[in-house]
Structure 1
Amino acid sequence: MTTSPFDSFRPPESGRRRRRASGVRGAVSGAAKDVAKGARRGWMNREGGGQREAPAVPDAEFSSYYGQPVVKPVPWDHRISAYLFVGGIAGTSGIIAAGAAATGNEVLRRNSRLTSMVTVGLSGAALVADLGRPERFLNMMRTVKLTSPMSVGTWILSGYSAFAGVTTASEVLGMLPARGPLRPLSRALAPVTAPATIGQALMGAPLAAYTAVLLADTAHPVWHESRKQLPFVFVGSAALASGGMQMLLTPLAHAGPARRLALLGVATELVAMHQLEEHLAQLRIDEPIVSGKGAGKLRLAKVLAIAGGVGTLLSGRNRLAALTSGAALATASALTRAGIVEAGIESAEDPKYTVRVQKDRLEARRSNGVVDDSIVTVQ
């Protein structure tokens, strides 16, 4: 005899009833009862018909798909949030480095190049840690699939890392005395440093934005439905984070471009995040970012971004204010990434966010007279 977790839903079986001698009269009486009760219960449901057999599985409820989410949430944790955060800093730091090299700002160029190399290394380490084994990252580089954001993102990260390695090596060699074997190495890097700087700048923006496309390409409702606004949120967040980092590392006299980039990032993120919230509110799936697990992080990120932006405007001559504002901006970016990740996972765990959007779209098509494009809309 075997048992099943669904046995608890089966009603207790009663002993077989003895057939009456007058089988015809019993059949007529049973048929009359079925007709009388047919209006309130059907032969296919749990309450009546046949031998009163119960379904083999529990009734599906709106809160689950037989006890499971409709969309399987990704098994991500803080490592992916860190990957998104430091990857954004790396991308926009390369842009700052190119601008500083073009304008002759050597201090800002050196700091931003070193920052980009460190953060892109941390980004790769966080990604490999989430994948579990380093060879999984190498396996993604065996092919190029333009329709896969993960494949394209892997090549963007690898190409950016190569350019950043060249510019950082050139910067480090310039800081060391040109003696012995370092001299020919410096001469070998000199012709390729400028092209590497340009390549790093060109791939900086895609590195900061592709992770938003990666999230939006999934079926998680909050991420997928905000696919038009999420790239702007991530790019703005990366700009204010990298600007804040250079405000921490670079003296006031050389950090002017970083402050301007940080202010641009603050404005971009706040506007894009507001549009994202309004869009999700129209779809009635904004609870994860308003009152869900990541809502507190997103609210604090907004407060820190505003405070950091105001401090950046006032920190032109105050080093302490610049340090405080830079730290606030970097923290705001980290909280934004973590809050977005948590909100997206929460929206996949609760089936109502998936079903609600689908039902609203079906209803909108029905109201427009479109009833033949889906079997569930056929009247």
Structure 2
Amino acid sequence: MTVNPFDADRPPEVSRPGGRRRRGGGRRRDESLMVPDIEFDSYYGRQVVKPAPWTSDIPAYIFLGGLAAGSGLLGAGASARNLPTLRRNTRYAALAAVAAGGLALVRDLGKPSRALNMMRTVKVTSPMSVGSWILTAFAAFAGLGVASEVGRHVVDDDSALGRVRRVADPVASVGSALFAAPLAAYTAVLLADTATPSWHESYRELPFVFVGSANAAAAGLALVTAPTSETGPARKLAVAGAALELAALEQMERTMGELVAEPLHVGRAGVLLKVSKALTVTGALGAALFGRNRAAAAVSGVALMAGSACTRFGIFEAGLESAKDPRYTVTPQRERLEGRRAQGVTHDSITTSRQ
């Protein structure tokens, strides 16, 4: 066996730098010895993380998907409570929104064939793959709901097609309700799964922000399109959705940390999110206090939809800006590194004291 003369006088467990010996002869590297403290700059002025190459079609898709999801949920409730106009309007809205959102996604992808390629396999570790199937399943149930609404006027209930329609109607409601929350939330998981700092650090609360925002937008559309005699569920959903969105957004900003949350408060993103909060609060209060008045209900509904759109676009813009500044990437990594260093020291001291 060849012996390295530089290792001859060293104990076996510390014969080479780089960390403690693992089981089986390997060694675990101590990143504190390998990663020096760095300044907040980048190679030739480039950012550490490359911003997502998405266009404005993506936040539009996120908003429309949420609007479709909330409308599907509201339509299921209207069907259960026998509110025909609200049921019909929300079903049409769900199908129209999911179709428009799909077109926005295809436009961002550049080719329709790329959207079809995502349907070739199911990869549970990929939010995009899972989301594609969620979108397709929801669209199918939304289409079934619209077909049932059309069938009410063109098919005799006593005929064979009428009996099929009566079976399809509750299936459409249940299916739309089941896939509503996943459709509203998966886009948040998709954003948080990237390396973009402001999106990645918000992975805990962002799905709740998007679900609340989706319900608020759908309730707002229902307040605009349905008679006030049937908008009771929409008014309740507006308040609940707005409360969830605002509470989750506030908690998200706290858990992200002051630095990483900074892009949410500056520039275009900061303006959009400030406007979003004002519109969402105004719309929710208007729906709760004056929702039985037709004009007030319509104004509140428009405010809720606009607030939801501003939320999606604001969070999208904040993520793009956070990727351009290396501080938002380096600081959280440094904090995690120092935390692991502290844990390693504590672990070593405990091990030494036990020995």
Q: 1:46-195 residue pairs with structure 2 within 5 A?
A: 62-174=40-152, 176-178=153-155, 185-195=161-171
Matching of residue 296 in structure 1 with residue 281 in structure 2: no
Paired AA for residue 110 in structure 2:
G
- Counterpart in the other structure of 2:227: 251
1:368 Cα shift?
Answer: 3.7
Please state which structure has a larger fraction of its residues in helix.
Answer: 2
| Residues 139 and 324 of structure 1, relative CA distance in 2, 3 Å threshold | same
State the SS of the aligned residue for 1:293. Answer: helix
State the SS of the aligned residue for 2:47. Answer: coil
Structure 1 residues 92-151: Cα deviation after superposition (integer angstroms, max 9, x where no partner): 111111111111111111111011011010110110010010010100000000000000
- Counterpart in the other structure of 1:358: 333
1:361 Cα shift?
Answer: 1.6
Q: TM-score, normalised by structure 2?
A: 0.83
> What is the aligned-residue RMSD (CA, Å)?
2.0
- Counterpart in the other structure of 1:52: none
- Counterpart in the other structure of 2:256: 280
Q: 1:234-273 residue pairs with structure 2 within 5 A?
A: 234-273=210-249
- Counterpart in the other structure of 1:332: 307
1:186 Cα shift?
Answer: 4.3
Q: Would you say how many aligned residue pairs link Structure 1 and Structure 2? A: 310
1:185 Cα shift?
Answer: 4.5
| Residues 177 and 189 of structure 1, relative CA distance in 2, 3 Å threshold | closer
Which 5+ residue runs of structure 2 have no aligned equivalent?
Answer: 1-37, 349-355
- Counterpart in the other structure of 2:11: none
Give 1:198's match in structure 2, choosing from 165, 171, 174: 174
| Contact 1:64–1:350 (CA under 8 A) maintained in structure 2 | no
Q: Distance in 1 between matches of 2:336 and 2:155?
A: 67
Q: Distance in 2 between matches of 1:172 and 1:255?
A: 22
1:200 Cα shift?
Answer: 1.2
1:61 Cα shift?
Answer: 6.4
Give 1:341's match in structure 2, choosing from 290, 310, 316: 316
Paired AA for residue 76 in structure 1:
W
1:69 Cα shift?
Answer: 1.8
1:293 Cα shift?
Answer: 3.0
Structure 1 residues 33-76: Cα deviation after superposition (integer angstroms, max 9, x where no partner): xxxxxxxxxxxxxxxxxxxxxxxxxxx96332333221111112
Structure 1 residues 317-357: Cα deviation after superposition (integer angstroms, max 9, x where no partner): 31111011000000000000000001011111111100011
- Counterpart in the other structure of 1:32: none
Q: TM-score, normalised by structure 1?
A: 0.78
Matching of residue 208 in structure 1 with residue 184 in structure 2: yes
Matching of residue 232 in structure 1 with residue 212 in structure 2: no
Paired AA for residue 102 in structure 1:
A
Structure 1 residues 253-305: Cα deviation after superposition (integer angstroms, max 9, x where no partner): 100101100100111011011111112235x2121001133110000000111
| Residues 370 and 109 of structure 1, relative CA distance in 2, 3 Å threshold | farther
| Residues 191 and 276 of structure 1, relative CA distance in 2, 3 Å threshold | same
| Residues 144 and 370 of structure 1, relative CA distance in 2, 3 Å threshold | farther
Q: Distance in 2 between matches of 1:313 and 1:200?
A: 26
